[in-house]
Amino acid sequence: MTTLEVRNLVKHFHGTEQSAVNDISFELSSGEILALVGPSGCGKTTTLRIIAGLERPDFGIVCLNDRVVASESIFVPPEQRGVGMVFQDHALFPHLTVSENIAFGLRRQSATQVKQTVGEMLHLVGLLPLAKRYPHALSGGERQRVALARALAPRPVLVLMDEPFSSLDADLRMEMREHVRQILKSMQATVVFVTHDQDEALFMGDRLAVLQKGQLEQIGTPEEIFHESDTRFVAEFMGDSDFLKGRVLQTGIQTEIGLLKQIIDLPVSTEVEIALRADDIDFQRDGSGNSVIIERFFRGAFNLYRLRLDSGQILHAFTDHTRILPVGTRVRAFISAEHPLTIFSE
């Protein structure tokens, strides 16, 4: 069942030449989490605000459960859309307790129903012992869970989450991702999740929609987005790819670091670019090799090396954390990928 349908959304803001949202379309099935991901200013938050009813589209249609809630002639206000929102700053009411914050959206229910629902939400997010506390007495992660419980309590048609973990430190962000995704899946919630963090999008989304300059570059599963990028931007943004030039041969693609034995449907001698991530490259110490180590970054579980090829091209390579070579070492770099690589024709 399709819960959300967005068709040909367009939104301009006064004084800007570029559309904030430019002809964006997608659908979201019941129980699915869609991560909208892209750099700052790409249109992901504007898209979310249009779906929520906080902005009016200039053109296009938003449907919730086959009901048009936004178009050029129809505009259903936010409070009548059955949508739950979780904001960056949590937006909790400081004068209300945890229980009272969660109960805020349940005013049309009886006292008995409210008490039962609040209890269920507190249990779901693991905050029963903190029911009487006020927001100032909670940690960042606890406030995040209260905000989520408040959004889920009315059983919304759709949950919209705008960079919900951005105010948390790195360790807590990782913990909250796991906890929140588990909660959303246990509730079978339908979710649009906005983030600029690629790792977060890959972890949270059943599907990802990658945006750039107001346009939808690609939509697909995390695996499709990461391994089968449709555009150069997606390959670069979602995986910090380097791009190595090559020339098509009958036996593969010739590059300055060797032959990639991957057959593609392009004429011989066609110039192409190969998207390479750091785990696709390896190297060996070699005094007459094709590159030199110019930097090494220790990342705990692994080392990230920056290599400069003789042509000046920069490539990055992961190695085991115990494999340490000094800057300036001459090496032979080569492609070590055990999967098909994404190729772009020039």
Write down the pLDDT at residue 240: 85
Which of the listed residues 237, 252, 283 is the one where a domain comes to its end?
A: 237
Cβ pair 300, 284 in contact under 8 A: no
Report phi then psi at 127, rounded to 5: -120, 20
Write down the pLDDT at residue 175: 87
Verify that 32 and 147 share a domain, yes or no: yes
Write down the pLDDT at residue 171: 82
Write down the pLDDT at residue 292: 98
Verify that 232 and 255 share a domain, yes or no: no
Distance of alpha carbon 316 from alpha carbon 282, whole angstroms = 9
Write down the pLDDT at residue 52: 96
Domains contained in the chain, number? 2
Verify that 229 and 263 share a domain, yes or no: no
Write down the pLDDT at residue 209: 98
Cβ pair 307, 316 in contact under 8 A: yes
Verify that 169 and 28 share a domain, yes or no: yes
Write down the pLDDT at residue 109: 86
Report phi then psi at 310, rounded to 5: -60, -25
- Encoded tokens for 252: 């593969």
Identify the segments of the chain with pLDDT beneath 70.
346
Verify that 53 and 154 share a domain, yes or no: yes
Verify that 196 and 221 share a domain, yes or no: yes
- Encoded tokens for 86: 């979780």
DSSP H or E run through 245 = strand 242-249
